[in-house]
Chain A
Amino acid sequence: METTTTELKGDVTAANADCDKVISILEMIIDEEASSEEQSYFYQHLEECKNCFEAHSHQKMLKSFLKMNVKRKDVPASLISTIKSIVHETA
């Protein structure tokens, strides 16, 4: 479809080891679960790797897209009052 990795094949082996590691912690980075060491390793790699940079953008986009677009339902008022009254009546 879009950009392929073919043009980057010159430095494959060295790059791939880093890319594998970066991709393996990608979601931890997005979820703010990565250590500061992992973070600096990660972002440093992004500066020099277009593919990983894009993978990161996509993953980040998915998360914010979900948060933005899954509508939240309002709690029925009757549910709140029911819970409160049952609780008050409970000994």
Chain B
Amino acid sequence: MSEEKANKLSKEEKDRRFEAELMPVIGPLYNFAFRLTLDEDDANDLVQETYLKAYRFFDYFEQGTNAKAWLFRILKNSFINDFRKKSKQPAKVDYNEVESYYNTDDVEGEGEMAATSDMRSQAVQELIGDEVAGALNSLPVDFRTVIILCDLEGFTYEEMAKILDIPIGTVRSRLHRARNFLKEKLEKYAKTMGYDADNNGNHDEDE
């Protein structure tokens, strides 16, 4: 088949390929949109817009290449251009604000959480899931983004650099900071789950 022909697909063929190659990514894409916007309607709009843009530029998409990274990149750009501008979110991360958020978070006050520490039930699992999601959502969007891309979606640093339009070094340092913020927040849940790696440690909580 000549290249010209390959570039000018019939509408039918284009639609078929579009669905076969790009629609399987909708799950991760929707989750990414939701974790960025933290709103189901906005996530819907964002994903829809992403697919329409992808359809418009589908001729430029090379078959068999990384469809997931391509769509994530389109979505992230749409988010910045159309969604983030509307919100009052600061363009740059205000570290002080983040830190004070963590400092004011009343860890001790949650006696109920401690009481469940020896239960390995589904309910606890779900509760922890909510708390983890809450901790993730409380991160500034740039930090949240790298955690999602790396730890939840399994993108490589190189793919992340392309999706986010930043150097790999920045990917690494941003990821590092994001994880440090999350770590603090999550440590107590890790312990609740019995994931504490240091079993020699003395936990001076009286129970």
Contact = CB atoms under 8 A, between A and B. Distances in A.
Interface of A: 1-3, 27-28, 31, 33, 54, 57-59, 61-63, 65-67, 69-73, 75-76, 79-80, 82-84, 86-88, 90-91
Given A54-B197, A82-B48, A62 B27 contact: no
B107 interface: no
A80 B190 contact: no
A75 B26 contact: yes
Interface string B115-156: 000000000010011101100100000000001001110001
Please give me the 3 A-B residue pairs with the lowest Cβ-Cβ distance, nearest first: A2-B201, A57-B197, A69-B132
A59 B26 CA distance: 29
A80 B26 CA distance: 8
A75 B28 CA distance: 9
Contacts of B27: 72, 75
A80 B52 CA distance: 12
Most B C-beta atoms less than 10 A away, residue of A1, A58, A66, A88 = A66
Contacts of B157: 31, 33
A83 B198 contact: no
Interface in B171-195: 172, 175-176, 179, 182-183, 186, 189-190, 193, 195
B103 interface: no
The binding surface of chain A is classed by DSSP as: helix
A65 B129 contact: no
A26 to B, nearest CB: 9
Interface stretch (B15-23, B76-84, B85-93): B15-23
A27 B129 CA distance: 23
B51 interface: yes
Most B C-beta atoms less than 10 A away, residue of A28, A31, A91 = A31
Nearest to B137: A70
B3 to A, nearest CB: 23
Contacts of B102: none
A80 B48 CA distance: 9
